[in-house]
Structure formats: structure tokens, C-alpha cells
Amino acid sequence: MKSFLKKFFFWDDPAAGAVFSWILSFVSTFCFSNFHLLNRFFFSVSKGDRLFDSPVVLVTMIIQSLLAVYCLFLSIAFFFRQDKSEYKKFFWYITVAIAVLLFYFWSISDDNNKLAIFILAASLIFSGYNALCVRKRNFRWYIALLVCGTACWPGVMVLFDVSRCLDCHSDKLFFPVAVDWRIPIAYSAVLFYIAFMLSNFKLWASANNKRLRDVWGIGCNVLLIVLAISYLSVVAAALFQQKKCKTALNALENNFQRKISAGALKEIYYRNRKADENFHIALKKAWNEFDREEQLWNQIISESAQLDKLPEQYRSKFFSAEAEKIGKFFDAPLPARERNYSSGTLMSMMLPDLQIIRQAARLFAWQIRIACENNDYPKAILAWKRSAAIREYLKHDTSLIAILVMIAVDNIRLDSLEQLLASNMLGDDDLQDIQSFLCNSVKRMPEIKRDVLYFEAVLGSDAVYGLANGSMIGDTENAGAEGIKHYRFLAPGIWYLANRNYYNLLSRYNVESIDKVDKKIEYSPENLLAAMIMPPLKTSADRLMEMEMRYQAFNVLIEAEKIKRKTGKYPEKLPLNITDHFSGKPLLYKVGKHQKRERFLKKEKHPVGAIEQGYYYSTEYRTKTVYGVAVWSVGRNKTNNEGLYGTSDEYGERSDDPRALLIIPQ
């Protein structure tokens, strides 16, 4: 037993123990870190989404901790045995000081530059102490130690920059060198680090009056063989995953029958349309002339025509010359806006035109409301037709953001349709045209879901492309614009994990429609990109379903109105047999009393002592009972909320019934 302990702890040869411990710590850290990344590749574990769900991974972490303690013991034992002078106390003072300062910098500093400089200074102090421990004056090896240790740091700084670029901090480069030089500098740092370690080993052997080969035992060779096998295995696993990614990408392109690329997305957006940036600049200018910076006005224009008692000064503003100037932009189909569909930058593409489009929809909704109150058919129908131009414009943009804006715009438009139907101004031809619009909107839903899925697939794939090539994480004109793939052989585990993530991302999009995408994304290493990049597609699919049900509800409601015009009364039962997709049963239909929620502006005074003085406006919800005809769906919660949608102070819990309501005056 005593003989075993001597060999295990290198009592007779502490220099060999120090060499073995440094190699063991490096090799074990590399192997175990990659093992954690690859645990699903080599093993089949039932609960591998979180680190500690796998007992195999937990055991390896315990082993790694024990190895770290063992390596630390061998290193300290060497210095204690070698240094018999007063420098031993100096070493421990420096160690404690560095530990405290390192913790301090790590906890308070958000600047990696300071931390990197401090670590560099600390390593030089340890190198200096290393020389003091050497009994022979091997200045050549000590100079080699300092040169190689210093030469490592440009590569370390480059890797600092890469990690900071991935954290979206590419505006502060620590080592501003051209990209063409940064990559070889990073790789050369590995060679300098090996030379730095060999210089250390040579000095330690010299301190024990031995040659390097004398302290380099069989265990060191075994560790290097293990390192080589581990490294090549991870590279092979990464290449295998890369091949799977290509297969998954081909399958995805076959699914959509088009390329997964920014260029293909550009063709879909323009669809033989010509871009006219001047048109959108002029529209924005016209809106700025019409809009005003005032609290009450901003709340009125943002409430989608659901407020009561509009002040006369604002009522006239909706039909002012400035408002008519905006309206004329929508008398013809809107041209496309210029957009830069370039690879690696789709995630950062801005859509500023959508804000103006949404505001214009609210403007037309207010015009319809006021025109209905004044029984002014020409103005009401003109605003309705102009709002249709918004819908036509949005249908060309298949991005999820644009589709969500389209849902908001169509909800505003259908709210206005309720007012048009209640005004009894619409003729039979108008009702037929509106039914055609509703039927066409329903027919387009599968295409919309498919287009959104394709757009998000391209966006996700392009985000991965940008991370890999650097076009998404930095300015291509400055240093630091390179991506992960340039350093894949330095960190093959990250390379493997990135490919595994990309494969899972592509596989999730390889479905028929947006509502078929997995609802839940587990936060595991293999799904990290999907969790970061993929929006809540299932929730968006539900909103599209709600929109479809509201189209259908209005279609049924108009059919009931047409029957009433022929027979003199509304049908007692659902006039069209349309299925509610949420319940699988027919839509709900009722002629009678209904609850209707509305939002009102309430003028309130700031309390005494508040920073702001005077009055402000808050929004409150009120529920009133109306008589009319309603058609509705049970919505996502599959609970019949009697056609109510949204939340209020009275109802607390959210109700989500998409409804079409025709109020009948009593």
C-alpha cells in the first residue's frame, strides 16, 4: 500500500508528478467537457435534457472534481518540496492576493479587457516564481518560457473577442487586427502554449537535476494518446453531424420545393413588384404631418376605434386635408419597400413600414366609425376599400412579424365591419363583396401558414449561417467579423454542438404547416439555438386559427343578414354549417342579448406631490349588454365565454372567443 501511495502521489519524483498533473488536468478537462456535449451521441439516456438528469454525466463530473483535487495536490507538492527558502511564503502570499483580486474583478467588472490584462500579469508573476524555484540557472529555457507565454496572449485576446462578438459586444474589440491575421494568430497560440508548457516541464526537470525525458513517464504518453483519440472522436462526430445537417437541409428544401436561402425569400417578397422607396418616404412624411405629439391624441389613435365620445376637435381631424392626403396613398396597390435580403443578416433586417401601415389601419377604422355615426355611406365605403389596400400590401410579406401585423389590421377592419353592418348602409352587392373577401381570406390561410413556416425556416438557417461566418455578429469592415467555423478545430466540441443544434432546428421546420411545429422546446444543449431563434410558432398558429374563425363567423353573420333581408327575420339556427376548428363542433350562434366590452378613456388628476402635474388619461374597461346576432368560436381555451375576447377588470381571467356581432337597435 505504501508503495502504491508513493507512486500515486509521486513522492520520490515530485517534478514528474507536476508534469503529469498539468497534462492530466488539461486532458481530463478537454475529454470530460466534450463528453458532456456528446453524451447523447454516444449514450442513450432517458432524461438527457438537463445536465444532472443523466447519472452518467453526474458520475463523470464527480470524477472530474476528484481529478482536479489530485492535480492541484501534485502541483503544490512539487513547489513545496522544491522550494526550501523564504520564497515559499512569498508564493502563498501572491496566490492569495491573486485569488482575491481575480474574484473581485470577476464580480464587478463587465469589461473582459481588464480581466484579460490581470490574468496576463498573474501568469507572468507565476512564471517569475517558477524561475526562482529553479536551482540551476537555465536562462535559455526561462527566456523561452517568457517568450512563448507572452506569444500565447494575442491568440487568447482574439478568442476573447470572438466570445464577446457572440455576446453582441463586437463594438469593443480587445485585439484590433485584420480578420486575415486573427485566425492564424489564434491557431498559432496553441503551438506557443505547447512550447510554454514544455519550457515549464524542462525547468521543473532541471530543478530536480533531471532531463525532460526522465520526468516524462509512460502516464504522460497514455494521456496524449487519450487526448488524440478524444479530439479525433469529437471532430468525427462534428463531421457526422455536419453531414446530417446537409441531409436535413435537402429534405427541408424538398418539403418547400424551393431553396432555403435569402435570395429565394427575396423573390417571394417582391413577386414581380417594383420597389418604390420614395413612395414610403412620402407616406411617412404625410403621416408625421398628420400626427401630433399629445397624450390624448396618441391614446385615441392607438385604441382602434373602440373609444366613446370622441371630442369634436379630433373628430374633424380624421377627415382633415392631412388625413385625406394619407388616404390617397391607399387608393392604389402599395409598391414594395426596398429590403436588403442578404445572407447572414436577415435577423437584423428592420421592417419600419409596418408601423405606419398599422397606424393607417386605425385611421381608416376611425373614419368608418365616424362615417357610420353620420350615416355617410361614401366616406365609410371609401375608408373600407382603402383599408383593403393595407391587407393586400401585407400579404406579400411572409415574415411572422408582418403576419401578426396583418392579424391586428384585420381585427381592426372586422371591428369596423361590425359598425358597417349595424349602420344598415351596406347594399346586397356590398355584402356579396365582403363575403368574397372573407371566403378568400379563409382559403389563403393554409398558404399563409406555409409561407410563414418557410420564412422562419430561412431566417433560422440564415441566423446559423451568420453565426458560423460572422456576418451576424460583427461589422464585416472591422476586425472581429469572423464566426464560429473559423475556430472549429480549436473547439471541436462547440463545432459538434453547433451542428447538432442546426440539425434539430432544420428538423423542427420540416413539417407541413406552422401549426405542426413542436409546441415546447426543451432548454438542452442540443436545442439551444432553437430556443433562442425560434419564435412561439404554435402560439402564432393559434392566433391565425382565431383569425380564420373570425372570418368564418362574419361569413355566417352576413349570411344571416341576407336571410333576414329576404324573410324579415334572422334565422333561429346557424345558417351555414361551418365547423369550429377549436372544438370540432359547429360555430355557436345566437340571436338575443350579448355582453360587449369596450375601452374608455378616463381623465384623472395626478396626485399631490407627483412629479407630473395636471391631468392624464387612463384606459378602463366596461361591459354592457346589447341585443343582436352573434356568431363565435370557443377559442384556444375551448371554453364558451359567450363570445367575449380579452381581459377586463370585471372578468379577470382571459376569454378568447373570436366573435362576429351585429348589434340590432331596440
Would you say how long the chain is, in residues?
666
- What is the per-residue pLDDT for 445? 92
Question: Based on C-alpha coordinates, what's the Rg of the chain?
Answer: 35
- Mean pLDDT is highest, among 306-310, 343-347, 476-480, for 343-347
Are 368 and 383 within 8 A, CB to CB? yes
| Whether residue 22 has pLDDT greater than 70 | yes
Select the more confidently predicted residue: 570 or 482.
570
pLDDT at 479: 46
Lowest mean pLDDT across 130-144, 275-289, 574-588, 604-618:
130-144
Residue 259: pLDDT band with limits 50, 70, 90: very high
Alpha-carbon distance values, 352 to 29, 329, 357, 413 (Å): 48, 17, 9, 21
- Pick from 145, 140, 118, 148: which is nearest to 129 by CA? 145
pLDDT: which is higher, 534 or 430: 430
Which of 67-81, 127-141, 303-317, 483-497 is predicted most confidently?
Answer: 483-497
Q: Which residue has the higher pLDDT, 302 or 409?
A: 409
d(CA 175, CA 560): 72
pLDDT band per the 50, 70, 90 thresholds, residue 609: low
Q: What share of the chain has pLDDT > 90, as a percent?
A: 34
Q: Examine the pLDDT at 328 and tell me if it is beyond 70.
A: yes
Burial of 572 (0-12, 13-18, 19+ CB in 10 A): exposed
Amino acid 231: pLDDT = 92
416: Cβ contacts below 8 Å, ≥ 6 apart: 305, 364, 365, 368, 369, 383, 384, 387
pLDDT at 297: 80
**Range ranked top by mean pLDDT from 345-349, 391-395, 479-483:** 391-395
pLDDT of residue 547: 94
pLDDT at 439: 94
Q: Is residue 197 predicted with pLDDT exceeding 90?
A: no
Arithmetic mean of pLDDT over the chain: 81
- The grid cell for 364 is 381608416
How many other C-beta atoms can be found within 10 angstroms of the C-beta atom of residue 615? 11
CB 162 within 8 A of CB 487: yes
Q: Which of 112-116, 249-253, 285-289 reaches the highest mean pLDDT?
A: 249-253
433-472: per-residue pLDDT in tens? 999 999 999 999 999 999 999 999 999 898 888 888 777 6
- Which has the minimum average pLDDT: 28-37, 129-138, 167-176, 592-601? 167-176
Least confidently predicted of 168-177, 269-278, 355-364, 461-470: 168-177
Q: Which three cell numbers stand for residue 348?
A: 437584423
pLDDT for 285 equals 93
pLDDT at residue 628, rounded to an integer: 93
Give the three cell numbers for residue 216: 516524462
pLDDT exceeds 90 at position 414: yes
Res. 250: pLDDT tops 90: yes
Percentage with pLDDT > 70 across the chain: 79
Q: Return the H-helix or E-strand segment holding 345.
A: none
The pLDDT of residue 464 is 87
The HSE-up count of residue 37 (CA atoms within 13 Å, CB side) is 26
pLDDT of 30 over the 70 cut: yes
pLDDT at 480 over 60: no
Give which of 345, 447, 435 is closest to 406, Cα–Cα: 447
Q: Is the backbone of residue 638 left (phi > 0), alpha (psi -120 to 50) or beta? A: left
Q: How confident is the model at residue 517 (pLDDT cuts 50, 70, 90)?
A: confident
Q: Between vectors from CA 562 to CA 663 and to CA 664, what angle results, nearest 5°?
A: 15
* pLDDT band, residue 613 (cuts 50/70/90): low
Residue 259 in grid coordinates: 431553396
Which of 338-342, 372-376, 381-385 comes out lowest in average pLDDT?
Answer: 338-342
The strand pairing partners of 592, in sequence order, are: 628
- HSE-up of 357 (CA within 13 Å, CB side)? 30
The pLDDT value given to residue 196: 85
How far is Cα 516 from Cα 519, in angstroms, rounded to an integer?
8
Write a three-state SS string for 542-608: HHHHHHHHHHHHHHHHHHHHHHHHHHCCCCCCCCCCCECCCCCCECEEEEEEEEEEEEEEEEEECCC
Q: Which residue has the cell 324579415?
A: 568
**Residue-wise pLDDT tens digits, 529-549:** 777 788 888 888 889 999 999
Q: Which of 142-146, 544-548, 655-659 has the lowest mean pLDDT?
A: 142-146
The pLDDT of residue 413 is 93
Q: What is the pLDDT of residue 33?
A: 75
Q: 330-352 pLDDT, tens per residue?
A: 999 999 988 888 887 787 777 88
Closest C-alpha among 164, 178, 156 to residue 479:
178
- The interaxial angle of helices 321-328 and 377-394, nearest 10 deg, is 50
Q: Taking 80 as the threshold, does the pLDDT of residue 485 lie above it?
A: yes
Beta bridge partners of 579: 586
CA angle 339, 345, 347 (to 5 degrees): 90
Nearest alpha carbon to residue 134 among 193, 86, 198, 205:
205
pLDDT(651) > 50: no
Burial of 121 by CB count in 10 Å (0-12 exposed, 13-18 middle, 19+ buried)? exposed
- Least confident range from 51-55, 398-402, 661-665: namely 51-55
As given in the structure block, the three cell numbers for residue 120 are 496576463
- The span from the CA of 286 to the CA of 273, in Å, is 23
State the residue for C-alpha cell 480587445. 174
